Chains A and B, each alone.
Chain A
């Protein structure tokens, strides 16, 4: 958790997370009729930073259960954000690593939380600059509502209606010291900004 977070509820524990990822992997295999031959016209692309680990876990499940090795890419949409003028310090630009041609592929874009839809919009723009996929579908672990753009997810781990003052914290063992998803509240700081 971040400093000052007040935990309101745990949304998923490690076991829930595993079950949800397994279910979403099944949905993907079914929806795209994935088999060895289809794998070359399909790809999972994880959005920095936690979407990358979620996409990697789903890829591993599909490899273990179905024996299909699907390509995996990493996308950073920082350069495409629209809140540029609202920030004082620039966010860190992280790596984009997509070692395959995305033209003509069915892409599943993966992120941890869907909130306003602005990050997704930035991700779609970033993807468009890299090529022209046959289709883009969107997978999130948590859809917390409060959209500001007309964007929806195709694969949703859990829908959780939230309030503007709340935050969803996804914690993954690959990069955090715990595993699970929590709903927290953040107090306002002196500048009337969420800290």
Chain B
């Protein structure tokens, strides 16, 4: 009987099974217990070296991975594109092979190009974990979102989850859609027409997927609303008229929480207060944004632990 993961890397959730996702979430709950102890460290990954390869700026994901690695006693090396050989014109492949020559067991990579982690698996032997690649996937974010949801509900199966915002450019949305559908949740995606995908892949999954342009329609009967960050830095191309108008039409506000009494609100952060979520909504007891952050460390510990076994030769 196979009790581990069927994959050697975590590039995305599109091909992870419900059994594997459940294993990651269950193991994450065990690791979360450690984070509540006086000594928040276990020797599990002693002797394993992990490099955090961040070609794109990131604060919380990088800190979350780094904390997870340290809690497991792994040795960590941080690499960020600015101030490195990349700014001298080194290619991804050369950077990766140089790092591998330093005997690294696992690579956590964030890159602006979709598929960069997949490319890495072809040029290095180390285990690769995707920490976000372009608009493709951000699997550990979706896993921590699913852990946060499963803390509040008995099962992900049959839950109604709405993802609101810039779906088109969002790797968080993409990973969540794959993961949630695999776990049997019903997913509604909602946003301005210009920020929705033009066509949806038909995927044979346990849950169902639908699209709407109306927030009220997305929130009616919904258990969890996930607001996505509007990337202000990308608003050079205007995909919607103004932040104010976006907030009016797609921002989750207090009157929504009043109307939908059981609705839980999530956000991958960092939040633009008054854009995706009204400021009072961010601070509301039914917003579980900080639980998501805590769960992020636990989920990353779980993924590092479960994949680290694959780093040694069979």
**Please, which residue of chain B has its CB at the minimum distance from the CB of A129?**
B39
Tally of chain A residues near chain B (CB < 8 A): 22
B93 sits at the interface (CB 8 A): no
B54 sits at the interface (CB 8 A): no
Residues on A with beta carbons closer than 8 Å to the beta carbon of B30: 76, 93-96
Q: Which of A85, A86, A96 contacts B33 (CB 8 A)?
A: A96
**Please, which residue of chain A has its CB at the minimum distance from the CB of B31?**
A93
Q: Which of A90, A96, A125, A129 contacts B305 (CB 8 A)?
A: A90
B229: shortest Cβ distance to chain A, in Å?
32
With contacts A80-B42, A90-B4, A129-B42 taken as known, whether A85 is within 8 angstroms of B31 at the C-beta atoms is no
Asked if residues B309 and A87 are in contact (CB atoms below 8 Å), the reply is yes
A151 sits at the interface (CB 8 A): no
Residues on B with beta carbons closer than 8 Å to the beta carbon of A80: 42-44
Asked if residues B3 and A92 are in contact (CB atoms below 8 Å), the reply is yes
How far is it, in angstroms, between the C-alpha of A96 and the C-alpha of B31 when the chains are bound? 10
B264: shortest Cβ distance to chain A, in Å?
26
A84 sits at the interface (CB 8 A): yes
Q: Which of B2, B44, B47, B309 contacts A79 (CB 8 A)?
A: B44
Residues on B with beta carbons closer than 8 Å to the beta carbon of A92: 3, 23, 27
Asked if residues B44 and A88 are in contact (CB atoms below 8 Å), the reply is no
B310 sits at the interface (CB 8 A): yes
Residues on B with beta carbons closer than 8 Å to the beta carbon of A95: 30, 33
Q: Which residue numbers of A lie inside 8 Å of B, CB to CB? A: 76, 78-81, 84-96, 125, 129-131
Asked if residues B2 and A87 are in contact (CB atoms below 8 Å), the reply is no
**Please, which residue of chain B has its CB at the minimum distance from the CB of A96?**
B33
Asked if residues A130 and B37 are in contact (CB atoms below 8 Å), the reply is yes
How far is it, in angstroms, between the C-alpha of A82 and the C-alpha of B310 when the chains are bound? 16
Residues on A with beta carbons closer than 8 Å to the beta carbon of B23: 92
With contacts A93-B305, A94-B30, A130-B37 taken as known, whether A88 is within 8 angstroms of B42 at the C-beta atoms is no
Asked if residues A125 and B27 are in contact (CB atoms below 8 Å), the reply is no
B56: shortest Cβ distance to chain A, in Å?
29
With contacts A85-B47, A96-B30, A129-B37 taken as known, whether A90 is within 8 angstroms of B42 at the C-beta atoms is no
A148: shortest Cβ distance to chain B, in Å?
18
Asked if residues B43 and A89 are in contact (CB atoms below 8 Å), the reply is no
How far is it, in angstroms, between the C-alpha of A130 and the C-alpha of B36 when the chains are bound? 11
B2: shortest Cβ distance to chain A, in Å?
7
With contacts A96-B30, A130-B37 taken as known, whether A89 is within 8 angstroms of B4 at the C-beta atoms is yes
B148 sits at the interface (CB 8 A): no
B306 sits at the interface (CB 8 A): yes
Residues on B with beta carbons closer than 8 Å to the beta carbon of A91: 3
How far is it, in angstroms, between the C-alpha of A89 and the C-alpha of B314 when the chains are bound? 9
B208: shortest Cβ distance to chain A, in Å?
31
B59 sits at the interface (CB 8 A): no
A98: shortest Cβ distance to chain B, in Å?
10
How far is it, in angstroms, between the C-alpha of A91 and the C-alpha of B4 when the chains are bound? 7
Given A79-B43, A93-B305, 15 additional A-B pairs, CB 8 A: A76-B30, A79-B42, A79-B305, A84-B309, A85-B47, A86-B312, A88-B310, A89-B2, A89-B5, A90-B305, A92-B23, A93-B27, A94-B30, A129-B42, A131-B38
With contacts A76-B30, A79-B44 taken as known, whether A88 is within 8 angstroms of B305 at the C-beta atoms is no
Residues on B with beta carbons closer than 8 Å to the beta carbon of A90: 4, 305-306, 308-309
B299: shortest Cβ distance to chain A, in Å?
13
A181: shortest Cβ distance to chain B, in Å?
23
Residues on B with beta carbons closer than 8 Å to the beta carbon of A94: 30
How far is it, in angstroms, between the C-alpha of A95 and the C-alpha of B27 when the chains are bound? 9
**Please, which residue of chain A has its CB at the minimum distance from the CB of B311?**
A85
**Please, which residue of chain B has its CB at the minimum distance from the CB of A88?**
B314
How far is it, in angstroms, between the C-alpha of A191 and the C-alpha of B34 when the chains are bound? 36
**Please, which residue of chain B has its CB at the minimum distance from the CB of A84?**
B44
Q: Which of B281-314 contact A (CB under 8 A)?
A: 305-306, 308-310, 312, 314
Residues on B with beta carbons closer than 8 Å to the beta carbon of A88: 4, 309-310, 312, 314
A99: shortest Cβ distance to chain B, in Å?
12
Q: Top 4 A-B pairs ranked by shortest CB distance? A: A89-B4, A90-B309, A79-B42, A79-B44
